[in-house]
């Protein structure tokens, strides 16, 4: 049976060049980067070299880059670290209702600790209103955290305008850019953003390694305590192979960014055209913004067929897709993102996220559309 992987928003295959770099490190380097002997110095050289490379590619300074265990830790460190540094009681945070749970659950934890949080709604295309953000700002607002691009519907937010608004009010601005890295043009210094969260496994790098870019001068309270690694911002022995792999994956992603975007747009357009041909444009609805979106994610509802039924049938045909975020899709609960977009019940309960990667082809898009047509016909009978 043919296999088609269309869940790259959850995790991507490790690029062969990334795996090669990591294997070289894992089989030849076992020193601790905090050790002073030759083995430790070599480990430190690998960490520092990767940090310098990534800083250049991301458009930040090397000392602004903090390595973490992934996007979730980066979000937690950015939000909790910022708020605990100024004290939680009586402080105010603004976020949106469609954030990744790494942000939403962290903000809910802030509420338990005496912080006030405003969860802003979005429109039916998944965009946060800058005007509503402005109206939500209070004298005690310390932090605004809005994701760059949504991991379920692909909608991209107006990060530049939101950042300018935050800075005009002396408010810290954090963006979860985990899903945007590798598809959007990101040069950190060119945006009014204080904190950026990233993760390697979304760009054909290894799982278990992430990064947080912290603008110079911004003070964070650490979440982990122990050693003095990462300038006391994140204790723990460095994941050297993961860091080297992340740097290589980022290098490949940035250098091939235009090619990636063009490839994903071709896949997206081919998929829509093939679905239209196979089942008719009245049989499916594309959820999300029609103009401001990341090209590798498309969220589609098939009214009349439940999400669970479609996913099960796709899986039986060898096609991997998802109902939403990888952190919650296993539960098959209705997406909090789609609920926040106030979609109708028939769209909410039939939505599927397809997300593309470098290995996907036009033929796979046509094949998937044909299989969806077969599934719909079978279910109708």
CATH architecture for the domain at 4-12+257-380:
Alpha-Beta Complex (3.90)
Closest CA to 301 of 330, 328, 337: 337
Q: Would you state the structure tokens that stand for residue 237, as one six-digit string?
A: 């022995």
CATH number belonging to domain 16-255:
3.40.640.10
Q: How far apart are CA 323 and CA 101, in angstroms?
A: 15
Number of residues assigned to the chain? 381
pLDDT of residue 330 exceeding 70, the answer is: no
Domain boundaries of the chain, sorted by first residue: 4-12+257-380, 16-255
Q: What is the pLDDT of residue 325?
A: 56
Q: What is the pLDDT of residue 29?
A: 87
Is 60 catalytic? The answer is: no
Q: What is the pLDDT of residue 327?
A: 53
Range of lowest pLDDT (71-80, 168-177, 303-312, 330-339) = 330-339
Which residues neighbour 202 within 8 Å (Cβ) at sequence distance 6 or greater? 8, 9, 11, 12, 71, 178, 179, 181, 182
- The answer to whether residues 263 and 257 touch, using CB atoms and an 8 Å cutoff, is no
Q: How far apart are CA 264 and CA 361, in angstroms?
A: 9
Q: What is the pLDDT of residue 125?
A: 98
Range of lowest pLDDT (32-36, 181-185, 256-260, 324-328) = 324-328
Element (H, E) at 20: helix 16-28
- The C-alpha angle with vertex 244 and arms to 205 and 147, in degrees rounded to 5, equals 50
Closest CA to 81 of 177, 210, 218, 274: 218
What does DSSP assign to residue 152?
Answer: T
Burial of 219 (0-12, 13-18, 19+ CB in 10 A): exposed
The pLDDT tens digits of the residues spanning 242-301 come to 999 999 999 999 999 999 999 999 999 999 999 999 999 999 999 999 999 999 999 999
Please give the mean pLDDT across all residues of the chain.
95
Q: Would you state the structure tokens that stand for residue 302, as one six-digit string?
A: 């098939």
Q: What is the pLDDT of residue 35?
A: 87
- The C-alpha angle with vertex 167 and arms to 164 and 170, in degrees rounded to 5, equals 160
pLDDT category at 331 given cuts 50, 70, 90 is low
Residue 261 vs residues 171, 189, 267, 357: alpha-carbon distances, Å: 33, 22, 10, 10
Q: Could you give the 3-state DSSP secondary structure of residue 312? A: helix
The pLDDT tens digits of the residues spanning 148-178 come to 999 999 999 999 999 999 999 999 999 999 9
Q: How far apart are CA 207 and CA 71, in angstroms?
A: 10
pTM for the predicted model, two decimal places:
0.95
Q: Could you give the 3-state DSSP secondary structure of residue 267? A: helix
Residue 19 vs residues 16, 49, 98, 202, 240: alpha-carbon distances, Å: 5, 18, 33, 15, 13
Burial of 199 (0-12, 13-18, 19+ CB in 10 A): buried
Q: Catalytic one among 60, 115, 188, 327?
A: 327
The pLDDT tens digits of the residues spanning 5-62 come to 999 999 999 999 999 999 999 999 888 888 889 888 998 999 999 999 999 999 999 9
Q: How far apart are CA 369 and CA 278, in angstroms?
A: 7
pLDDT category at 329 given cuts 50, 70, 90 is very low
- The answer to whether residues 102 and 112 touch, using CB atoms and an 8 Å cutoff, is no
pLDDT category at 332 given cuts 50, 70, 90 is low
The pLDDT tens digits of the residues spanning 199-251 come to 999 999 999 999 999 999 999 999 999 998 998 899 999 999 999 999 999 99
pLDDT category at 324 given cuts 50, 70, 90 is confident
């Amino acid at each position: 049976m043919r296999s088609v992987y269309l869940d790259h928003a959850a995790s991507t295959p490790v690029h062969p060049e990334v795996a090669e770099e990591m294997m070289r490190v894992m089989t030849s380097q076992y020193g601790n980067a905090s050790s002073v002997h030759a083995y430790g110095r070599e480990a430190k050289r690998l960490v520092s070299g990767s940090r310098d490379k990534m800083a250049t590619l991301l458009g930040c300074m090397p000392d602004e880059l903090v390595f973490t265990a992934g996007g979730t830790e980066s979000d937690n460190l950015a939000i909790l670290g910022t708020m605990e540094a100024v004290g939680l009681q009586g402080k105010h945070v603004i976020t949106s209702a469609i954030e990744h749970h790494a942000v939403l659950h962290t903000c809910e934890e802030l509420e338990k600790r005496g912080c006030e949080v405003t969860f802003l709604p979005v429109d039916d295309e998944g965009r946060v209103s800058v005007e509503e953000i402005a109206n939500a700002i209070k004298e005690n607002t310390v932090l605004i955290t809005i994701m760059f691009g949504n991991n379920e519907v692909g909608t991209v937010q107006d990060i530049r305008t939101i950042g300018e608004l935050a800075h005009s009010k002396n408010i810290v601005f954090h963006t979860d850019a985990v899903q945007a890295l590798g598809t959007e043009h990101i040069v950190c210094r060119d945006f009014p953003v204080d904190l950026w969260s990233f993760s390697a496994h979304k760009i054909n790098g290894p799982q278990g390694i992430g990064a947080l870019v912290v603008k110079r001068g911004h003070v964070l309270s650490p979440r982990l305590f122990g050693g003095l690694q990462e300038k006391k911002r994140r204790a723990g022995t460095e994941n050297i192979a993961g860091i080297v792999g992340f740097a290589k994956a980022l290098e490949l992603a940035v250098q091939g960014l235009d090619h990636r975007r063009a490839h994903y747009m071709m896949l997206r357009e081919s998929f829509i055209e093939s679905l239209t041909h196979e089942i008719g444009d009245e049989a499916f609805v594309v959820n999300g913004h029609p103009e401001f979106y990341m090209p590798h994610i498309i969220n589609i509802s098939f009214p009349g067929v439940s999400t669970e039924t479609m996913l099960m049938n796709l899986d039986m045909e060898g096609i991997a897709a998802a109902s939403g975020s990888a952190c919650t899709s296993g539960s098959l609960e209705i997406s909090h993102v789609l609920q926040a977009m106030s979609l109708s019940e028939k769209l909410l309960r039939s939505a599927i996220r397809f997300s593309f990667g470098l290995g996907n082809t036009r033929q796979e898009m046509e094949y998937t559309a044909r299989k969806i047509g077969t599934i719909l016909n079978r279910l109708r009978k």
